Amino acid sequence: MNKMISICAIVSVAVASNASDGRVIVEDFDGAGFNPELTFDFSSDFTGGGDTSDHMDGVLWLYSDLADVSVNTLAPGEWIESVEVTWTDFCGTGCTNLEIFGLNNSLAIGNTDIAGSETVLLTSVDIGESIEHFTISSFEGRIEEVVVTVVPTPGPLALVGVGALAMIRRKR
């Protein structure tokens, strides 16, 4: 019995550690273009390269703009676990916002500091489901970095662990 409990613990730890393995996509706005793994869809006057005052080396200025961002390199069985944005706002409290969207829920968080760099983080736990896409909006904000964590869907990994336990029990 102790042997089975030990094996169950090892399988559970292996499944848990695999569930947290993922990849990180970083957009630091260095260079002329955007990270090819991310799609930025701007809803107002930003032209994605034609307006040089908005996308400067190392920052993205949003002047009354909203950027809807999605990961275009999600493989089958992957989902967005978290979005972290570092920004500086010059308009006022709540003028720069990050909003995450799942299939059924969304959640937004705004800046709490003015003229100082701050980092905000929203995760899939915050909305109770996987993140499908997110938006960044501002009246006058400088976005310094976007970090997106993509992880494998936990369902198949958990099934592997359950299958291993069933095989162990069957052999006994």
Least confident of 9-13, 124-128, 155-159: 9-13
pLDDT in tens, 96-138: 999 999 999 999 999 999 999 999 999 999 999 999 999 999 9
Classify 79 as helix, strand or coil: strand
For residue 168 the two structure tokens come to 């162990």
Bridge partners, residue 2, by sequence: none
Least confident of 78-87, 102-111, 152-161: 152-161
Which pLDDT does position 14 carry in this prediction?
37
Q: What is the rounded CA–CA span in Å between residue 129 and residue 17?
A: 20
* Superfamily for domain range 24-152: Galactose-binding lectin (2.60.120.430)
Q: What is the rounded CA–CA span in Å between residue 103 and residue 80?
A: 12
First to last CA, the chain: 10
Rounded to the nearest 5°, which phi and psi values hold at 101?
A: -130, 130
- Using a 10 angstrom Cβ sphere, with 0-12 exposed, 13-18 middle and 19 or more buried, the burial of residue 65 is buried
What does pTM read for this prediction? 0.75
Domain ranges, ordered by start, for the chain: 24-152
